[in-house]
Structure 1
Amino acid sequence: MKTAELTDVLVIGSGFGGAIPAYHLAAGGAKVLILERGPQISSAGFEQDWKHGTWTRVLDLVKGDGMTALAGNCVGGGSVHYYAVSLRAPSFTFERGGGRMWPRSIRRATLDPWYERAEESLPVTLLDWKEVSYAGGLFAAACRNAGRTCQPVPVAVDTEACVNCGWMVGGCHFGAKRSMILNYLPAAQAHGAVLRPLCEVQRLSRAQTPGYRYRAHYGAEVVEAKVVIVAAGAMATPVLLRRSAFGLGGMPGAVGRYFSGNGDLLTVTQMDEGRIADVLGLEREPGIAYQAYPIGKSITTQSLDHTDPRKPEFTRFSIQQCYNTPLTNMLAEGPSWFGVGKKQARREWRSWLGTLAMYEDDNEGVFGLLPPTGAYLKLADGLGLSPLRYRRSANSERARSLVLAELRAILEKDGLGRVMPFTEDLIGEVTAHPLASARIGDDPATSACDEGHRLRGHEGLFVTDGSAVPGALCVNPSLTISALAERAVPYIVRQLRDDGVAVTYGAPAPGGATSGRRATLELAERVISGG
């Protein structure tokens, strides 16, 4: 039998949910090993093209039955390909389902100190109007024309280093996007954490070394740990856990259920250059009103008019101006997704305006029969087939219809453009924000983990990635995933101390800032002491 490597903490995945606890635990003195299934690429190694073998090194399109998700596949995980919009979730999202979807201990007010800690650590910057892309300005002008409001978004971007190239989804070549490879991961390694790329954990079982709980199997190697943190992403975490059910003696029923695509709805609008000039009075350069779809940061403005907490559930959503990559633009219906009309629309693609809406969906996704290995069946580089099945409920269907009606009210008013939703005939719905497939909660019947991200029935096993978020947020989820991961660290520290590991809590932000730490120290000590 192969001799197992031993570590205090094994972290599976290196995105937001893995890098954040890895840093804090390594800084506190624990022995930390991070295993990442994808390759390690520096900022200079990210290439600005859509050739096979470039973007496919960092990103997978994972097709399920009814939904396709974008999933990170490199060191840094989703933080490498996200658009860096960093928003706190509205207060009403924590009250969804009559207040029963989230743990009672987690509400917007109680999560705010952890949001602050994450914002300081990334860090996050609020764009001002002079930093907004022309497409973002066009969306703002259309909102104003329709009697709506619009404002710039906060982003985890170094705006001084950003060259506004728009190549965010394939990784930032200029090191301006504040992904995990520029903050938490190097800080964790500076404190002794070991990071191993190209190591995909296939299953977990019980450890055989006294004093250790879990054994992870990857390739021909095994490692045993006292504590395991699963942060492989919402498309992979439930598959890994369910495959491990036999070796661990069962798995909570909520693992692989209640999946949410965050209510993502991507569309493009074919804008009329003449009407932009006549109605909105815009002119980007002499004789050209717009033609700026791919220019600038990917998302720069948003409308939050439909995030009123007094409105009923499934009627609330946000809309952002969004550059949709060529990977998804082919899906736009103009009027169908193929044919002469679509060909004409694609000739004028520089006049498109992309949008991303996020509404309250109904957690309809369920993972079915597991693939023999990995998180999904690998069809080709950058393409996978997932056991996920997703069918919109009546609630989600109604929410989606409200979003489309609002988009048309803004962007088709006075003949400004024609909204072109994406076809679902080929790959179903599309989400860049998979969530909730091993979610936290108070009810064991509907949640896989408790309020401290501890997998039910499995002491020392934590889930800290997007799969732990209970449901759709109506905003981009990266900051909420980060805040929850920050909040989970004290629970993990308490477990390690109970296991006899001399670990401390209280490291500054990776860059050395300390104000966010001051806001959370008392909360953390209360958890660690069991108070």
Structure 2
Amino acid sequence: MSATSRHDPGARGLSRRGFLAGTGTVLGAAALGGLSASRASAAQRSTPISNGAHVQALIIGTGYGGSVAALRLAQAGIAVEMIEMGMAWDTPGSDGKIFCNLTSPDQRSFWLRTQTKQPVGYFLGIPIDRAIPNYTGILDAEDFAGITVYQGRGIGGGSLVNGGMAVTPKQENFGAILPSVNPAEMYNVYYPRANAGLGAGVVPQSWFTKTDWYQFARVGQKQAGRSGFPFQFVPDVYDWNYMQQEDAGTVPKSALGQELLYGNNYGKKSLQKTYIPAALATGKVNISPLHKVTSVSPASGGGYTVLMNQLDTSGNVVVTKEVTADKVVFAAGSVGTSKLLVQMRDTGQLPHLNDQVGQGWGDNGNIMVGRANQIWDPTGSKQSTVPCGGIDNWTKGGAFAEVAPLPIGIETWASLYLSITKNPHRAQFTWNAATQKVDLSWQLAWKQDGITMAKSIFDKINSTEGTIYRTDLFGSYKTWQDQLTYHPLGGAVLNQATDNYGRLTAYPGLYVMDGALIPGNTSVNPFVTITALAERNIENIIANGG
């Protein structure tokens, strides 16, 4: 089946036995470093899929796992249709920019909300969220009982809205993250492949030590050292050469212009600049933005029937479409994939999915906190939005703390941190027949374990520095931001809900390829692990079928 036949309702392509064509192509191309062969715009191949179309491979989602799968399948000669609930993010707004910044959020900032819901929602105890028009914006703050899950919406998924910290876990911690995966293969092959594909790099030390824009991080580094904690510089997917040019005033400011959480216009190497354009350059990938998959079920003639709604920018359904696909890859993120699979199992579309589907969900132990520094430790009115290091107390205290910026343009004498903790609690997704929605069994009280682990770092630093916690950033007299996660993980755990490579074995041709495979924690920021695991899994699936 050729790429030109992807919209032919009568076409039938791959055998149900597996992705067998072109295996040598994908395995040979897999080692491409940096994916620099293409910088094609996502707009070039973001044509809405036709009702009644038949496709070889349909991928639900365009985040890390989905983008890896699209590239490697396309390199193997397989036509791919990517379905994305969010926008293409390729058209500038009235201000000439595609994305808005942190301090001036507008309708582009949040997914179908009429008021922002910022992670740091207060300053001096005063609410700073603001009214915005209802719009299919870039950041989804999805509310469940006890927790808000932040997720990216658009072509590129979470890569559009995260801090870009491309952290590979320490190998000694890997067995607790993915016990059924060979660590040697991950650290010798797939982590290096992922980091090369993502374009990860560490902040240049000669610039870091002198620039005003990382004074906040230098304060964090100094204070960690004085309390006996290792400070680790970690890679990021920002273009550090561009950031230095921002500092010099020779290019438009991006990370130095308060851009990150609601997208970054210039310097960040999101998936829009790495895996996705490389996939599009094969000529075998099409992307349908503003399409939401609602159902997947076996088709009478083989393959799978996929129902989806095309949305407008107010979230209204424009048209409902039915397409068929030989293979379907679930890559809608931990929450999106888990919700869809649980719903399909419990409403009868995919009744043979096992009882592990929906299990093992965690928040990567996310806890935010701020500290009030002494007046001789200012953190700077200039702050890059891109974090570049963290404080490691994982072995002794169960916490790794990203030294985060608070880039509001004034001196605050505040240090802000996003902690990843070894929180043991795991929640379950369940179908609620009464509400016709999927619920999550997370309990706010479970965050206390994460708070205790984070305190293993910050109580010590406060004691050493003679400082206190800020209580004005997350509410009035609220110290800990314990009602969110940036790092949803689990819900379709590898080798439990799936086989050891992401196959949903009850349904040949269905796969999971995202953070849903990882049981709740990665000990660090998770997207490099999600990318590396997807590289591993899709290579096996293409080589061996199934």
Counterpart code for 1:139: G
Q: Is 1:161 matched up with 2:245? A: no
Match of 1:228 among 306, 323, 328: 328
Q: What is the CA-CA distance between 1:372 and the residue it aligns to? A: 9.3
| 8 Å Cα contact 2:58/2:80 also seen in 1 | yes
Partner Cα separation in structure 2 for residue 243 and residue 482 of structure 1: 26
Counterpart code for 2:443: R
* CA shift digits 1:372-407 (9 cap, x unpaired): 999x7xxxxxxxxx722212687x644531321321
| 8 Å Cα contact 1:66/1:427 also seen in 2 | no
Q: Please name the residue that 1:137 is paired with.
A: 218
Q: Please name the residue that 2:315 is paired with.
A: none
Q: Please name the residue that 1:286 is paired with.
A: none
Partner Cα separation in structure 1 for residue 219 and residue 417 of structure 2: 12
* CA shift digits 1:319-363 (9 cap, x unpaired): 12012688xxxxxxxxxxxxxxxxxxxx98722211011111224
**TM-score, normalising length: structure 2:** 0.73
1:71-470 matches, cutoff 5 A: 71-96=151-176, 102-107=178-183, 110-132=186-208, 133-162=214-243, 163=246, 164-165=255-256, 166-174=258-266, 176-191=267-282, 192-209=284-301, 212-219=302-309, 220-245=320-345, 246-274=348-376, 276=377, 289-292=378-381, 295-304=383-392, 306-308=393-395, 315-323=397-405, 350-370=412-432, 387-391=439-443, 397-420=448-471, 422=474, 429-441=483-495, 447-470=496-519
Aligned length: 434
Q: What is the CA-CA distance between 1:138 and the residue it aligns to? A: 0.7
Change (3 A) 1:363 1:33: farther
Q: What is the CA-CA distance between 1:248 and the residue it aligns to? A: 2.1
Secondary structure (helix, strand or coil) at the match of 1:201 reads: strand
Q: What is the CA-CA distance between 1:136 and the residue it aligns to? A: 0.5
| 8 Å Cα contact 2:202/2:233 also seen in 1 | yes
Counterpart code for 1:54: R
Partner Cα separation in structure 1 for residue 400 and residue 479 of structure 2: 25
Q: Please name the residue that 2:145 is paired with.
A: 65
Change (3 A) 1:70 1:84: same
Counterpart code for 1:149: P
Secondary structure (helix, strand or coil) at the match of 1:200 reads: strand
Q: Please name the residue that 2:99 is paired with.
A: 46
Q: What is the CA-CA distance between 1:26 and the residue it aligns to? A: 0.8
Partner Cα separation in structure 2 for residue 62 and residue 156 of structure 1: 25
| 8 Å Cα contact 2:238/2:269 also seen in 1 | yes
Q: What is the CA-CA distance between 1:204 and the residue it aligns to? A: 0.4
Q: What is the CA-CA distance between 1:172 and the residue it aligns to? A: 1.0
Structure 1 unmatched ranges of 5 or more: 277-288, 327-346, 377-385, 442-446, 499-531
Change (3 A) 1:363 1:436: farther
Structure 2 unmatched ranges of 5 or more: 1-8, 10-49, 111-136, 209-213, 247-254, 310-319
Match of 1:488 among 531, 537, 540: 537
Counterpart code for 1:135: F
* CA shift digits 1:460-511 (9 cap, x unpaired): 1111111111231120001000000111112331465x7xxxxxxxxxxxxx
Partner Cα separation in structure 2 for residue 307 and residue 3 of structure 1: 50
| 8 Å Cα contact 1:270/1:349 also seen in 2 | no
Q: What is the CA-CA distance between 1:130 and the residue it aligns to? A: 3.9
Q: Please name the residue that 2:130 is paired with.
A: none
Partner Cα separation in structure 2 for residue 108 and residue 89 of structure 1: 13
Q: Please name the residue that 2:46 is paired with.
A: none
Change (3 A) 1:371 1:58: farther
- Percent of residue pairs identical: 22
**TM-score, normalising length: structure 1:** 0.75
* CA shift digits 1:200-251 (9 cap, x unpaired): 0001011233xx4211100221221121110101111111112222112332
Query: After the TM superposition, which of the residue ranges 121-130 and 414-423 deviates more from structure 2?
Result: 414-423
| 8 Å Cα contact 1:412/1:419 also seen in 2 | no
Q: What is the CA-CA distance between 1:107 and the residue it aligns to? A: 2.5
Counterpart code for 2:215: Y
Partner Cα separation in structure 1 for residue 107 and residue 487 of structure 2: 23
Counterpart code for 1:263: G
Query: After the TM superposition, which of the residue ranges 151-160 and 246-255 deviates more from structure 2?
Result: 246-255
What is the RMSD of the two structures over their aligned residues, measured on CA atoms?
2.9
Query: After the TM superposition, which of the residue ranges 34-43 and 115-124 deviates more from structure 2?
Result: 34-43
Change (3 A) 1:247 1:290: closer
Change (3 A) 1:3 1:320: closer
Partner Cα separation in structure 2 for residue 247 and residue 439 of structure 1: 20
Secondary structure (helix, strand or coil) at the match of 1:46 reads: coil
Counterpart code for 1:351: W
| 8 Å Cα contact 1:411/1:419 also seen in 2 | no
Q: What is the CA-CA distance between 1:66 and the residue it aligns to? A: 1.3
Change (3 A) 1:348 1:183: closer
Change (3 A) 1:111 1:152: closer
Secondary structure (helix, strand or coil) at the match of 1:169 reads: coil
Counterpart code for 1:115: Y
Partner Cα separation in structure 2 for residue 22 and residue 372 of structure 1: 37
* CA shift digits 1:385-438 (9 cap, x unpaired): x722212687x6445313213212114523244354856899952110000111
| 8 Å Cα contact 1:239/1:370 also seen in 2 | no
| 8 Å Cα contact 2:60/2:330 also seen in 1 | yes
| 8 Å Cα contact 2:488/2:520 also seen in 1 | no
Change (3 A) 1:403 1:117: same
